[in-house]
Amino acid sequence: MAAKIRAFGTGDYERVVALRNAINPRRPVTVEDFMNEDARQSAGAESAWVRFVADDQGSGVIGYGYAGHHIGMSPGRFQVSVVVAPEARGRGTGSALLASVEDWIGGQAVRDRDGLAAPAARCELVAFAPGDDGDSLAWAQNRGYRLDLERSEAVLDLKSWDDEAFLGHLDQVQGAGAEDGVKLTVLLTEEPLPLGLLRGVYAVEADASQDEPGFDGGIPSWEEWLDEFRRSGSTKVLALAMGGEDGKRVVGVSQVSMPAVPGAGAHTNFTGVRRDYRGRGIALALKVLTIEAVRARGIETMTANNDSANLPMLAVNRRLGYRILPGPRRLKKDLQHPSPL
């Protein structure tokens, strides 16, 4: 008997999180993480999302499908994901979930940041397939999704990491006595951070992200970024490079999320440096500081995702000792003629 596709309910969180963690074991999440993420997805006048589950009424929930437009996404763009338990694949469950989320998207209008809606000629769907899962890639391509971007996953073993080789580099980057030197610092978000400092972090992220090979055109506003930053349930490590004439301008950032699940690893969300400060080894120094901070808290692994064409950052990660593995592949599909609300 085919699984029944129905709307997601709060009683489904535990099973959906288990399915999600089974396909992404290096970055597990808790039910609380998932609920917080849903709350973040709901923020903003233009946000809209839905989740369906596949229930075989015997084993319970065996898969789920998600679609959403959220903070920082360009108008008309939706993220899509479909997850089916490995033992339940090959029965048409994934296709049924995908049809449900695409039908839902087809009924949406394009919303701007003021919440105003208007019909569009097409929507762009964005999905990700694990880099080491060729079957999932082929499944998506057979349903109209095209490969848009190759990414890598970097994994660092902190148990054997040695910081001795980088101590001199930190001193060199800070350039003691140099007029254009920078000061490096590490902060934790366990305590509230000054708004002025966070605005500087946002400015670096908004500026540097546009130079990434996989930049997709969406930059959240300061207010949207701050709301999402504050809603995140996990503690973050922020390594900052401060420069400028008064030494108070944020010129480089590396942001890391600490794990919410015991035994899991930390994940680097972003590392970037302002254009006029690049070429001085600041990104490497910032990542060294985050590694030291994470290791000091007893975490044993760190991960990061990078565009495969982002050669400078891949070189930084290799120098730090990261193993470079296949990462999530970005896929896209055009969905024609969505209906107005």
CATH number at residue 88: 3.40.630.30
Does 281 share its domain with 189?
yes
Which residues fall within 8 angstroms of residue 169, CB to CB, at 6 or more apart?
281, 284, 285, 288
> What pLDDT does residue 74 have?
83
Contact 104, 131 (CB under 8 A): no
102: in domain: yes
Per residue in 238-248, pLDDT (tens digit) is 999 999 888 89
Q: Which residue has the higher pLDDT, 110 or 298?
A: 298
Confidence of residue 109 (pLDDT cuts 50, 70, 90): low
3-state secondary structure of 220: coil
| Positive or negative: CA dihedral 107, 109, 110, 112 | negative
What's the mean per-residue pLDDT of the chain?
89
Taking the alpha carbons at both ends of the chain, their separation in whole angstroms is: 34
Q: Percent of the chain, pLDDT > 90?
A: 65
167 and 314 belong to one structural domain: yes
The span from the CA of 282 to the CA of 172, in Å, is 10
**CA-to-CA separations, 251 to 283, 286, 288, in angstroms, rounded:** 10, 11, 16
- Answer whether residue 284 shows pLDDT above 50: yes
> Kind of pairing, strands 48-55 and 151-157?
unpaired
Confidence of residue 75 (pLDDT cuts 50, 70, 90): confident
For the cut 60, the answer to whether the pLDDT of residue 119 exceeds it is no
39 located within any domain: yes
Mark whether 273 and 174 lie in a shared domain. yes
Average confidence (pLDDT) over 244-255: 92
- Decide which of 76 and 194 is more confident: 194
In the predicted structure, residue 125 carries a pLDDT above the cut 70: yes
**Predicted local confidence at residue 341, as pLDDT:** 41
Given a contact cutoff of 8 angstroms between Cβ atoms, the answer to whether 69 and 77 are in contact is yes
**Residue 223 lies inside a defined structural domain of this protein:** yes
Regarding whether 301 and 273 lie in a shared domain, the answer is yes
Non-local CB neighbours of 338 within 8 Å, separated by 6+ positions: 105, 106, 107, 108, 109, 110, 119, 120, 122, 123
- Residues 167, 312, single domain; the answer is yes
Full residue range of the structural domain in which residue 297 is found: 162-320
Q: Is residue 341 part of a domain?
A: no
Classify residue 120 by its DSSP letter. Answer: -
135-190 residue pLDDT tens: 999 999 999 999 999 999 999 999 999 988 898 899 889 874 456 679 999 999 98
User: Tokens standing for 217?
Assistant: 């055109």
Q: Domain check: are 14 and 141 in the same one? A: yes
Same domain, 75 and 216: no
Across the chain, the runs of DSSP E, i.e. the strands, are 4-7, 48-55, 61-69, 77-84, 110-111, 117-118, 122-129, 146-149, 151-157, 183-188, 236-243, 249-257, 266-273, 301-307, 323-326, 329-336
Residue 212 lies in a domain: yes
Task: Tell whether 90 and 237 lie within a shared domain.
Answer: no
Q: Are residues 183 and 138 in the same domain?
A: no
Per the structure block, which two tokens stand in for 86? Answer: 């490995």
Query: Residues 101, 235: one domain?
Result: no
Rg (CA), the chain: 21
Q: For residue 269, is it within any domain? A: yes
Band of the pLDDT at 38, cuts 50, 70, 90?
Answer: confident
Residue 105 has pLDDT above 70, yes or no: yes
Co-location of 48 and 95 in the same domain: yes
Q: Are residues 183 and 140 in the same domain?
A: no
- What is the model's pLDDT at position 232? 73
Classify residue 157: in a domain, yes or no.
no
Please tell me the total count of domains within the chain. 2
